Amino acid sequence: MSTTLNQQTYVGDDAAGVAKVHDFLAAHEAAGRETPTPQYFLAGATPGDQVQIPEEIHQILLQVIESMKRGLAVSIAPQSKTLTTQQAADLLGISRPTLVKLLDDGRIPFERVGTHRRVLLVDVMDYRERRRDEQYDALEEMRSSLDDETPVDEVLQEVRETRRARAAKRREEAAALPD
Could you tell me if residue 1 is inside a domain?
no
Query: In angstroms, what is the C-alpha Rg of the chain?
Result: 22
Which band of pLDDT confidence, cut at 50, 70 and 90, is reported for residue 178? low
For residue 93, being part of any structural domain is answered with: yes
* Secondary-structure breakdown of the chain: helix, strand, coil percentages, each rounded to the nearest 5: 55, 15, 30
Asked if 138 contacts 163 with a C-beta cutoff of 8 angstroms, the reply is yes
Q: What is the pLDDT of residues 116-154, one digit of tens each?
A: 999 999 999 999 999 888 888 877 776 766 666 777 788
- Report the alpha-carbon angle 88-119-114, nearest 5: 120
Specify if 2 maps to a domain: no
Instruction: Indicate if 86 and 168 belong to the same structural domain.
Output: yes
pLDDT beyond 60 at 7: yes
- Rounded Cα distance, 96 and 104, in Å: 12
Asked if residue 94 lies in contact with residue 110, where contact means CB atoms within 8 angstroms, the answer is no
Question: Do 92 and 52 share a domain, yes or no?
Answer: no
Return the CATH number at 157: 1.10.1660
**d(Cα 76, Cα 60) in Å, to the nearest integer?**
10
In a domain, 102, yes or no: yes
Same domain membership, residue 14 and residue 96: no
Read off the pLDDT of residues 15-60 as tens digits, 9 standing for 90 and up: 777 777 777 777 777 887 554 477 888 888 888 888 888 888 888 8
Domain count along the chain: 2
Q: Quick one: 86 and 67 in the same domain?
A: no
pLDDT at 69: 87
Domain hosting residue 108, numbered range: 82-176
Residues 130, 172, single domain; the answer is yes
Buried b (16+ CB within 10 A) or exposed e, 23-34: eebeeeeeeeee
C-alpha span between 136 and 146 (Å, rounded): 15
Query: Per the domain annotation, does 3 fall within a domain?
Result: no
Q: Are 68 and 111 members of one domain? A: no
Is residue 65 over pLDDT 70?
yes
pLDDT score, position 164: 83
Give Dmax over CA atoms of the chain in angstroms: 64
